Structure 1
Amino acid sequence: MVSLNPTDPILFVGNGGGSMLAEIVLGMAGVRFRVQVAGWGDNGLESDGLHASNPLGQVPTLVFPNGTVLTETAAIILTIHDSRPDLELVPTGDSGLRPSFWRWLMFINAAIYPSFTYGDYPQKWADQDQEGPLRTRTDQHRKRLMLHLEQQASHPWFLGETFSALDLYIWMLIQWRPKPDWYQTHAPKLYTIAKRVDDLTVTKRVIARNGVKPLP
């Protein structure tokens, strides 16, 4: 629930970026927060306020009125889960699904995310522009990773009948390279999961605020 109240926490975001997932989760939990948009520059996000709270200049960065700073999407998700287990962002302990949830949560954050870290701004890591081999190779590697995730996906959600935060991650990843059309053809199970998330009311609000297109 986006707010203008100065006593509510501030969520630093980059429109269309990974912070969309934090916006969805906070919205699902009914948490009131203020949005502070950081602009995209040649080398990433540019915002004095963001860098003051998070020197790495990454989003999402959630800043509470008492000065507490929470970064990393997974950390925000797990914090929300602690206070709102009814949202089922994490499978219940007796479901038998938690090991799979932890496995694929780590896979997404440790294997897939870095391909964007290095591929989105290759000029930060190598003497080449955005069309150089580093981007090409990280994009190719990401396709292999996403096809591996496709092989593991169940229906109607990634873990089967049980919704979890993994489904939100899948929705977010499909917004980015190699883009939704590729997923429709090569990873239809992931695309179907993302489309279900796309149709959630809270997701539609985040789509509108970020100025991104609904999935076709």
Structure 2
Amino acid sequence: MITLYGAPGWGSAISELMLRLADMPYRVENVEGFDRPGPQRDRLQQLNPLCQVPTLQLADGSVMTESAAIALMILDQHPHLAPQPGTPERSLFQRLLIWLVASVYPTFTYADYPQRWAPDAPQQLVDNIVRYRQSQLLWLDQQLRAAPYALGSEISLLDCYIVVMEHWTPGEEWYRQHTPRFSAVAAAVRQRPELKEVLAANGLL
């Protein structure tokens, strides 16, 4: 069985939703507080020296990190959670998954811990990053089909990112006003009965 090391509402929620959507057996080890010195950080660091969530320990004992890598691992076993190969939707899925993880996802790390990167001007760094993030999210919104999911009528692993990220800065109200397709996708995912338990446990309902 897979063990998911994570914290409620953090990026590990994305991977947990992916696992639940794929109906893959897993258990959660809550390491809330891992981002500061203490026993939870020490515990996670034994598995993942970078001390980040999500961290997955697979059934064979190997460790996997990075949400995009986890998504690709899940797709190897559950290819229906992405559009069919050879279709325009598949190309868009691949493009948006990598773009989202490379261009938007890192901004949360920088803005959440600005004193690490700009100790003399942490608020200025946060303000600049949030403006950049908003510009990227506006572009993303234009790429989504929202019919009712990101890429059409079938849910994909990309939708797991959207429903979680809607709760992060700039916040649900901003998304509703400026990225209506993004918000519509998140609302559709929240209606999936098989995901409600995970969403509730992560404070996403």
- Does 1:190 find its partner at 2:169? no
Tell me, what secondary structure is at the counterpart of 1:158? Answer: coil
Q: Match of 1:47?
A: 41
2:98 corresponds, among 102, 106, 110, to 106
Contact 1:43/1:124 (CA < 8 Å) preserved in 2?
A: no
Q: Counterparts of 2:178 and 2:59 in 1: how far apart (Å)? A: 45
How far off is 1:96 after superposition? 2.9
Letter in 2 for 1:151: Q
Q: Which residue of 2 aligns with 1:5?
A: none
Cross-structure match for 2:139: 148
Measured against aligned partners, the alpha-carbon deviations of 1:4-30 in whole angstroms (never above 9, x if no partner) come to xxxx33210021011111111111222
- Of stretches 41-50 and 184-193 in structure 1, the one that deviates more from structure 2 is 41-50
Structure 2: gaps (5+ residues): none
Aligned partners of 1:147 and 1:187 also within 8 Å: yes
For residue 78 of structure 2, the aligned residue among 46, 59, 84 is 84
Partner of 2:6: 13
Q: Any idea what SS the aligned residue of 1:39 has?
A: coil
**2:37 and 2:18 mapped to 1: Cα distance?**
24
Q: Which amino acid aligns with 1:59?
A: V
Instruction: Give the % identical residues.
Output: 36
Kept after mapping to 2: 8 A contact 1:60/1:73: yes
Q: Following TM superposition, by how much is the alpha carbon of 1:126 offset from its aligned partner in structure 2, in angstroms? A: 1.4
Q: How does 1:26-175 map to 2 (within 5 A)?
A: 26-40=19-33, 43=36, 46-85=40-79, 88-128=80-120, 132-156=123-147, 157-175=149-167
Task: Measure, in 2, the Cα distance between the counterparts of 1:172 and 1:73.
Answer: 13
Aligned mates of 1:144, 1:96 — CA distance in 2: 25
1:92 deviates by 1.0
Larger RCO (CA under 8 A, 6+ residues apart): 2
Does the C-alpha gap of structure 1 residues 76 and 16 become closer, same or farther in structure 2, counting only changes over 3 Å? same
Pick from 193, 200, 203: which aligns with 1:208? 200
Q: RMSD of the alignment, in Å? A: 2.0
- Aligned-residue offset at 1:163: 2.7
Deviation at 1:169, TM superposition (A): 1.2
Structure 1 residue 176: deviation in Å?
Answer: 0.3
Runs of 4+ that moved beyond 4 A: 41-46
In the alignment, the residues of structure 2 paired with residue 81 and residue 92 of structure 1 have an alpha-carbon distance, to the nearest angstrom, of 11
TM-score by length of 2: 0.91
* CA displacement at 1:213 relative to structure 2: 4.2
